[in-house]
Amino acid sequence: MIKLFKVKEKQRELAENAGGGPPIKKQSAGELRVHKDISELNLPKSCSIQFPNGKDDLMNFEVTIRPDDGYYLGGTFSFSFQVSPIYPHEAPKVKCKTKVYHPNIDLEGNVCLNILREDWKPVLSINTVIYGLFHLFTEPNYEDPLNHDAAAVLRDNPKLFESNVRRAMAGGYVGQTFFARCM
């Protein structure tokens, strides 16, 4: 009986491709969902999305955030997104490509955002993740840090934290770490 289904499936594929063109690549459920999420994006004016591999690769893209408020006002921060074929059952992998002095983003670009880890649910979307990243810049959280030094400064001396953020965004050293200009 299994062979019968394989024969029927092969006949269906042949019928679909009878036009003489190349075989049609089927999209995974993850690709279909990403396509839907991207078509329904409702981003803040200060966020944009780019597809460096072209619109045919929706599973890998970049998001740029330009905070319009808070410590990071005037900065430009890029994030890469890699979406799994089993999305939305697995959160996208997000990395900050811009080296930033931030309590919730380490110097390697790892991002500490609860919805990318334990609080991820399939009902969440790419739009939700982008808003979460945007929120990290308007209200950095020293209580759940990846960069413990930046978190301690934010908690204990917000004025020094603001000065360190400005120095880092202008292109300079904070302690022993050099940050490229991102303003």
Count of beta carbons in the 10 Å neighbourhood of residue 142: 18
**Would the pLDDT of 64 be above 90?**
yes
**Strands 172-174 and 177-179, how do they pair?**
antiparallel
The per-residue pLDDT of the chain, averaged, comes to 90
User: What was the pLDDT predicted at 82?
Assistant: 97
User: What was the pLDDT predicted at 125?
Assistant: 96
Of 47, 96, 112, 182, the catalytic one is 112
With tokens 């990243």, the residue in question is 133
Cβ contacts of residue 89 below 8 Å, gap of 6+?
A: 122
Q: Which of 180, 175, 91, 168 is nearest to 133 (CA)?
A: 91
Q: Which residue has the higher pLDDT, 64 or 27?
A: 64
User: What was the pLDDT predicted at 2?
Assistant: 47
Catalytic residue status for 182: no
User: What was the pLDDT predicted at 95?
Assistant: 98
> What is the distance between the alpha carbons of residues 154 and 146, in angstroms, rounded to a whole number?
13
pLDDT cut 70: percent of the chain above it: 86
| pTM for the whole structure | 0.84
Residue type, 67: P
The pLDDT tens digits for 12-29 are 666 566 655 555 567 788
The pLDDT tens digits for 45-54 are 999 999 999 8
Q: How confident is the model at residue 118 (pLDDT cuts 50, 70, 90)?
A: very high
Structural domains in the chain? 26-178 (3.10.110.10)
User: What was the pLDDT predicted at 5?
Assistant: 55
Q: Which residue has the higher pLDDT, 20 or 136?
A: 136
- Are residues 92 and 81 in contact, defined by beta-carbon separation less than 8 angstroms? yes
